[in-house]
Amino acid sequence: MGAPLVCILMGTYNGERFLAEQLQSLEAQTHGHWRVILSDDSASDATFEIARQFQLKWGIERLEIRRGARQGFVQNFLSLACDPATHADLYAFADQDDVWMKDKLARAVARMGSDLTSRVPKVYCGRSQLVDAELRPIGLSPRFTRAPSFRNALVQSLAGGNTMVFNQSAKNLLEAAGMQQVASHDWWLYQIITGAGGTVDYDPQPMLLYRQHPDAMIGENITLGLRVRRMLHVAGGRLSSWNSMNLAALKRVAHLLTPEHRDLVITFDALRRGNLYQRVQVFSRCGVYRQTWQGTLYLRLAAVFGKI
């Protein structure tokens, strides 16, 4: 049996500044059996042309380029993951502005194990080395120690999509769920896999350089200012809006969830929209939690003020 084929699913949007460096880091992977499908949502820059130059270098078998539907980054990534015509042994999400460490794919392949035909949906994910626009280290993404689970996934995204590698069974699950309107593609993958009884392997060892810059679609809360901004988002109802969106999607695909998790979705959604007494019962009756005590505190405050 040869090396597993990893299909790298990359969504781009006006990414000309960093795209070439990211594609070069894919080319440098020690696990060499991969291909890229790049879906470009750009409207005004040279992203497509840069990708085309790499396609000429690598060949169309190694790099397929698509024009995205320009419906936002979530739908762009889901359009790639939900395409039934795409086949590989493993799949990896990739952002346009990171730099992958040379052994990123090799480590993921090793931890996914040899049973690539398993019916159990599985995702590997983990931490990142945070860097500025010039790749200067500025810290690490949080190291989470609590067990991944659906009760965590209901209220928190565990890891960035740029770290995620998943098997065919996980892709089948995404295809069966279809193009849902959700808060983010990585959070959705965490929810649907744990909700269906799949497994999550969280790696505490950083695997990529994750650029933090003003144009990034999503970043880490690494400073006091960013943490305060997250609290304001909670106070402003953004968390509640995201939860409503995700829960509506989970209800639409309830047939894919385990019976226990189907019931949990219904109970959590009902309590979070109830009176104060019902909202604070969310924790005792549903057992939801975030990975840090600070995050769980934010969640409890959100419940008290009706923002969960």
Tell me if residue 11 falls in helix, strand or coil: strand
Instruction: Identify which of 121, 257, 125, 260 has the alpha carbon closest to the alpha carbon of residue 198.
Output: 121
pLDDT of residue 114: 85
Q: Write down the H helix ranges in 118-184.
A: 150-153, 168-177
Instruction: Identify which of 59, 67, 68, 54 has the alpha carbon closest to the alpha carbon of residue 25.
Output: 54
Q: What DSSP letter does each residue of 242-260 carry, written as one string?
A: HHHHHHHHHHHTGGGS-HH
Instruction: State the average pLDDT for the chain.
Output: 92
pTM, entire model: 0.92
Q: How far apart are CA 276 and CA 271, in angstroms?
A: 9
Backbone phi, psi, residue 65, to 5°:
-115, 130
Question: Edge-to-edge strand order for the sheet containing 63-67?
Answer: 63-67, 34-40, 6-12, 90-94, 165-167, 122-126, 199-203
Tell me if residue 70 falls in helix, strand or coil: coil
For range 27-47, the mean pLDDT: 95
Q: What is the pLDDT of residues 119-153, one digit of tens each?
A: 999 999 999 999 999 999 999 999 999 999 999 99
Q: What is the pLDDT of residues 214-226, one digit of tens each?
A: 665 555 545 444 4
pLDDT of residue 215: 63
Q: What is the pLDDT of residues 256-283, one digit of tens each?
A: 999 999 999 999 999 999 999 999 999 9
Instruction: Identify which of 98, 102, 115 has the alpha carbon closest to the alpha carbon of residue 18.
Output: 98
Domains, the chain, in order of start with CATH, read 6-211 (3.90.550.10), 224-304 (no CATH)
Q: What is the pLDDT of residues 54-70, one digit of tens each?
A: 999 999 999 999 999 89
Q: What is the pLDDT of residues 198-256, one digit of tens each?
A: 999 999 999 999 999 666 555 554 544 444 455 545 555 789 999 999 999 999 999 99
Q: What is the pLDDT of residues 66-112, one digit of tens each?
A: 999 899 999 999 999 999 999 999 999 999 999 999 999 999 999 99
Q: How far apart are CA 179 and CA 301, in angstroms?
A: 32
Give the per-residue SS3 of 85-124: CCCCCEEEEECCCCEECCCHHHHHHHHHCCCCCCCCCEEE
pLDDT of residue 225: 46
Q: In this structure, which amino acid lies at residue 242? A: W
